[in-house]
Structure 1
């Protein structure tokens, strides 16, 4: 779902309190990216809706965790297998559009509401 839509921002300058840092982040997103890995800091996601941005954040955080586990396994001698461009493009096409992102986010949100006893909505 992040195929050709994920950038890496190498120059993280701290909390975005100045227009200049916001401009640099926007430039890093560019025309195509909706997601950024802020090197040595964290993640930034965007979308047409809050649901899309939130679903992207959850999925990207999980993907980063899976990548770290794969890198750890590779460091211990287990060969890493890369996903091909064709498979990545197909996965993006079937899961990377706003309606799909909304569908992925709703159960996550409902779970958080349930776990908070409804206080999340206050």
Structure 2
């Protein structure tokens, strides 16, 4: 299997259950890794997963505010698989930096691992 990934892509977005989160927003850090069948000696971008395409999908999904981070990671995996049918496995982790919970916490994390 070949793994293609983006690590620590940073977005400012408006995901959250509480009304102030949808107004103020927050910084989110996204890690995305996908696995496709091994393709030895390919030099054709169309035969693989383009990490720029992964970023474009992430950017579009992050732009749509959702109340739960779980919704965000599910939407992202669905869009990735739709654009790149060769994906056989994905891991998407989303961190919300400084979550508004009245405690000193660096980030919250939701991670989804799927096999197709």
Larger Rg: 1
| Structure with more relative contact order (C-alpha pairs < 8 Å, separation 6 or more) | 2
Per the TM superposition, whether the score is higher than 0.5 is no
Larger strand percent: 2
Structure with greater helix share of residues: 1
| TM-score with structure 2 setting the length | 0.28
